[in-house]
């Protein structure tokens, strides 16, 4: 399973929805709360090519995008293969 990282804030409904999808799929992920660690927001923006909204999601080190993109991958049937891709 590819490592999954997600940058979030506690009051973001899209963050909760993205985490819920990952949890429903049994995917472990590491979470960076940029409200608690505001110094990491710049790190997130650098990694996300300027993306400043949350969530910002990375699978296997590659930027996926936000919640809409994550659910789009799921609807297209591509999320499972991306998660299980050989690193």
Domains observed in the chain: 4-84 (3.40.30.10)
pTM, full prediction = 0.93
- Average of per-residue pLDDT across 71-84: 95
pLDDT exceeds cutoff 60 at 87: no
Predicted local confidence at residue 85, as pLDDT: 77
pLDDT exceeds cutoff 80 at 37: yes
* Beta-strand pair 56-59/62-65: antiparallel
Helix ranges restricted to H, 1-87: 13-24, 41-47, 67-75, 79-84
Average pLDDT across the chain, whole number:
95
- Average of per-residue pLDDT across 33-42: 96
pLDDT exceeds cutoff 70 at 34: yes
């Amino acid at each position: 399973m590819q490592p999954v990282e997600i940058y979030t804030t506690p009051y973001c409904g899209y963050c909760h929805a993205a985490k819920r999808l990952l949890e429903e799929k049994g995917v472990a992920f590491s979470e960076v709360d940029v409200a608690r660690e505001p110094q990491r927001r710049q790190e997130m923006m650098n990694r996300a090519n300027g993306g400043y909204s949350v969530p910002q999601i990375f699978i296997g080190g590659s930027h996926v995008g936000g919640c809409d993109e994550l659910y789009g991958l799921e609807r297209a049937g591509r999320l499972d293969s991306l998660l299980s891709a050989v690193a």
